[in-house]
Amino acid sequence: MPSVMRRYAGGEGRFERPSGKGDPDLGGPVVLMVSGGADSTALLVLAATSKLDIDDGRGTARIARERLHVLHVNHCLRGLDAEEDEEFVRELADRYGIPCTVRRVDVAALARERGEAALGNVENAGREVRYAAAAELANQLAEQAGLPRSSARILTAHTADDRAETFFMNAIRGTGPSGLSSIPRRRNRIVRPLIDMTHDQLCDLLRMRGIVWREDDTNHDTRYLRAYVRHEIMPVARRRNQRVSASLATTCDILSDEDAFLNQLASKAYRDLVRREGEGMVALDAARLAASEVALARRVVRKALLAICPGARLEARHVAQVLMLVAAGHGSCTVPVDVDVRVEFGLLIVRASGSEHTGVSSWLEVPGRLALDAGRALVARLVGVPAGSRAPDVARAHGREWEEQSVLLDATASGVDPVQGGRLWVDAVQPGDVLCPLGMHGQSKKLSDLLAEAHVPVAERAEVPVVRTSATGAVVWVAGIRADERARVTADTRVMLELTLEA
């Protein structure tokens, strides 16, 4: 990504650290995102000369000059105009004695690299670049000041008009309550202190102070959705209601509060429904999810998908596709966010594409311990039959106590020397594998059928350890599920092999 970073302070070409380094009473650094347009110019002026509420516990108050730092991102989209915007912001920051960082990024080239050269995608790429640059700068300034990153604030110049426009933009694209909540007043460290003011109010303020600003011609290009809403839809809405921006701001606040409440409920429901979690995978109780209120179920599914693919831009159709599987109680699909979804054996399994486990292939020393994935391990040891006890009784009692997570087998029948020990081979289920399940008196069964009867999802069967007498030998134990009848403890057993699957 081509970029140039430059810092200015007081016109002397140097970066000045805050004078209150390490002093939490001063407050953390405040990054002002300034493009040079009227709104962001007003933000810089107000931050330097007036009181603002930046949600840092001080209420509406003057911001210490030492905290302020301007950030301008040159998208390299408008040739000489972009260069002049950059120079304007730098000179304006210098006029108020505020350090300025300029970052240049060829956003169009970045979008092309991603294969996203459409206008809307160039806009998205530019937005991502701006916020990434702001976060990076805020972190650097907080570190230099000896303060936690959370103390920093990133201020944007979004207005009530921007909020109304975003409401209509999201409605046009199709969205839910979160999208209709539009631009929040605050998200983490990002604060919008001008969100209750209109663009016209800020322009009037600048005119009264004799301050000019830059105009971006692309703001009038209605090929961009925001410009289309601003110049085609908002004027029509204002003819019906001159205060449409303020009215929609109230609507957005209400929707935002209700959305936050539903998210709290959905977060609790999600935690209650999770049955298994691993790297790139989460499994939920599908039956209970199907019985949930649809408003909560949608949000739970979104959380599951975002837990596996955090950067996904989910659409309503993706969530609906998953909920159809949940309602049917079976089936699978791949949603367009590189996530595979499957409903089977009462579980909704969400897994990142390509994250299927291949299982372990290794020797297990006897006695010894073999580490598996997800913190699991197989442990083997030799155990003598207690004096006065019958080996089969001991083995049955052990099996009931450990509920298939540990078994006692005949060491010799399992291919292990009862005195010297030995080793067993551990791998995953292989095509054509068969077992004589313990308790079925010598009848054979395919391991695939055994795992299906045990309700092990297809995508997880490679994770089930299979213990064998050797790399090509007979199966001794399908860990956690069933041992082989031929390795069972008998009345003649003197030394037992204990195999345990540790979670």
The reply to whether 75 and 142 lie within a common domain is yes
* pTM metric for this prediction: 0.64
The reply to whether 66 and 210 lie within a common domain is yes
Residue 17: the pLDDT is 40
Which of 335, 331, 352 shows the shortest CA–CA distance to 343? Answer: 331
Q: Which amino acid, one-letter code, is at 60?
A: T
- Choosing from 288, 319, 352, the residue where a domain stops is 352
- Choosing from 352, 382, 407, the residue where a domain stops is 352
In the chain, the percentage of residues whose pLDDT exceeds 90 is: 61
The reply to whether 67 and 45 lie within a common domain is yes
pLDDT band at 25 (very low <50, low <70, confident <90, very high): low
The reply to whether 448 and 404 lie within a common domain is yes
> Quick one: tokens of 198?
């209109």
Q: What is the DSSP letter of 462?
A: G
The reply to whether 376 and 339 lie within a common domain is no
Say if residues 86 and 226 touch (Cβ distance below 8 Å). Answer: no
- Choosing from 327, 352, 377, the residue where a domain stops is 352
The reply to whether 346 and 371 lie within a common domain is no
The reply to whether 464 and 380 lie within a common domain is yes
Cα-only R_g, the chain: 32
Q: Which amino acid, one-letter code, is at 1?
A: M
Residue 322 within a domain: yes
Q: Which domain holds residue 335?
A: 279-352
Which of 357, 322, 349 shows the shortest CA–CA distance to 457? Answer: 349
The reply to whether 322 and 445 lie within a common domain is no
Domain total in the chain: 3
Residue 265 within a domain: no
Alpha-carbon torsion (354, 355, 356, 358), positive or negative: positive
Mean pLDDT value of segment 307-322: 86
- Does the N-terminal peptide bond of residue 193 adopt cis geometry, omega within 30 degrees of 0? no
Count of alpha carbons within 13 angstroms of residue 293, beta-carbon side: 6
Q: Is beta strand 30-33 parallel, antiparallel or unpaired with respect to 68-74?
A: parallel
Residue 355 has pLDDT above 60, yes or no: no
Q: How far apart are the first and last CA of the chain?
A: 44
Residue 470: the pLDDT is 87
Residue 163 within a domain: yes
The reply to whether 147 and 294 lie within a common domain is no
Distance of CA 288 to the CA centre of its chain: 24
Note the pLDDT tens digit of each residue in 62-121.
Answer: 999 999 999 999 988 888 988 999 999 999 999 999 999 999 988 888 877 766 555 556
CATH of the domain at 24: 3.40.50.620
Mean pLDDT value of segment 452-474: 85
Q: Is beta strand 274-278 parallel, antiparallel or unpaired with respect to 281-285?
A: antiparallel
Residue 338: the pLDDT is 77
Residue 261 within a domain: no
Of 78-87, 105-114, 138-147, 426-435, give the lowest mean pLDDT range.
105-114
The reply to whether 60 and 102 lie within a common domain is yes
Q: What is the DSSP letter of 405?
A: S
Residue 10 has pLDDT above 70, yes or no: no
Question: CA–CA separation, 408 vs 499, rounded Å?
Answer: 7
Residue 257 within a domain: no
Which contiguous run of DSSP H or E holds residue 393?
helix 391-402
- Give how far Cα 67 sits from Cα of 7, 62, 138, 206, Å: 15, 11, 11, 23
> Quick one: tokens of 133?
């640059």
Note the pLDDT tens digit of each residue in 182-199.
Answer: 999 999 999 999 999 999
The reply to whether 402 and 371 lie within a common domain is yes
Alpha-carbon torsion (398, 399, 405, 411), positive or negative: positive
Say if residues 156 and 190 touch (Cβ distance below 8 Å). Answer: yes
